[in-house]
Amino acid sequence: MPIEFRCTQCNKLLRTGDDTAGKEARCPACGTVVTIPTGTAGPGVSFPPPPGANPFGGIGRQPSSPADSGNPYQSPSPFGPMGGASQGAIAPGKLDFADIFTRTWEILKLDWGTCLAVVVIVMALNFGVNLVSGFVPLLGIFIALLFGIWINIGQALFFLKKARGQSVEIGEVFQGGPYFGKILVLTLLILLIMFGILVVCLLPAGVGSLLSGEAAVILAIVGAIVAIALIWYVMLVLSQSNYLILDRNVGVIDSLKMSKDLMEGNKLALFLIGLVSGVLGALLMLMTCGLGMLVVAPYLTMMQAVIYLTITNQPTAEQMQAGPMAR
């Protein structure tokens, strides 16, 4: 019979196998180390566990390293130890189209007001900085770009914690400093990759212009189509790199490699999710004269965090409420 108990810090209901009684575990919601209750068989208690027991043995996972086995709530991960804002080791997961839409809505409903407030604050600050920077040619554009990266890091951190069901304040949006350098380098590197793809795909058009104007136009159209397809593909492959830096505090190159591995088998699902959510969001805003933005903006932002947690096989807020065994 599974053991049910509450975290002594955040009062989250936790559930684990009866072979883990007496072990220390880290709460996946707040990170507090708690001792799993022991006792005679009955509701919420169990006999002491055998050495090295895995509380999620029913899921078929075993600790992959001594570090993993120290916390029975961690899942084994091929991606190394956790860092940054992470709550445990990660393992590749699979996206489910309908599940992402449903879970995002369920999580957003838990605190829609605060999530909307954060999105509005970030949008307003970005607009204000861009407006002011317009009076300073060149330098203003650079300042607006750097500010946008910084404030959006804070927004991503906020929604990542909300998606996990963690307690988080609005002030989290101003805590992006520690990750700014890595995210800036990542952004510039991805932009460089995109630019390289564009140059390579349009290069034949330049050569074709030496032959005839008609050839140049045809080659330019074909090159542009190929470039758009390749850029979309690269964006999908590298889509999780920013969250990996925020969640795992890994290096820029490592984040790109990890994103590539995690997106294996998930690229089509992510493309369809992005396409459908974008179209539906646009239609909702159109039909409500823009008022739909109050739902669309926080929903799409939350969806990004839910997608990341799903791809990395980490629990989300509604799963935390049901207990670990609900995963």
Rg (CA), the chain: 23
Angle subtended at Cα 116 by Cα 111 and Cα 117, rounded to the nearest 5 degrees: 100
- Please give the distance of CA 91 from its chain centroid, rounded to a whole number: 14
CA-CA distance, 148 to 171, in Å (whole number)? Answer: 16
pTM of structure: 0.71
The answer for residues whose C-beta is within 8 angstroms of residue 238's C-beta and 6 or more apart is: 190, 256, 259, 260
Q: CA-CA distance, 80 to 77, in Å (whole number)?
A: 6
**Two structure tokens written together for 1:** 């019979």
Per-residue pLDDT of the chain (327 residues; tens, 9 = 90+): 578 787 776 667 777 877 778 877 777 766 677 788 875 434 443 333 333 333 333 333 333 333 333 343 333 344 444 444 445 578 899 999 999 999 999 999 999 999 999 999 999 999 999 999 888 887 888 899 999 999 999 999 999 999 999 889 999 999 999 999 999 999 999 999 999 999 999 888 888 777 777 888 888 999 999 999 999 999 999 999 999 999 999 999 999 999 999 999 999 999 999 999 999 999 999 999 989 999 999 999 999 999 999 999 999 887 655 554 444
Residue 113: CB atoms within 10 Å: 8
Residues in the chain: 327
Say if CB 62 and CB 134 are below 8 A apart. Answer: no
Tell me the one-letter amino acid at 190: I
The residue behind tokens 């750097």 is 146
Q: Which residues contact 95 (CB under 8 A, 6 or more apart)?
A: 266, 269, 270, 273, 307, 310, 311
Residue 105 CA to its chain's centroid (Å): 16
Number of neighbours of residue 108 by Cβ within 10 angstroms: 22
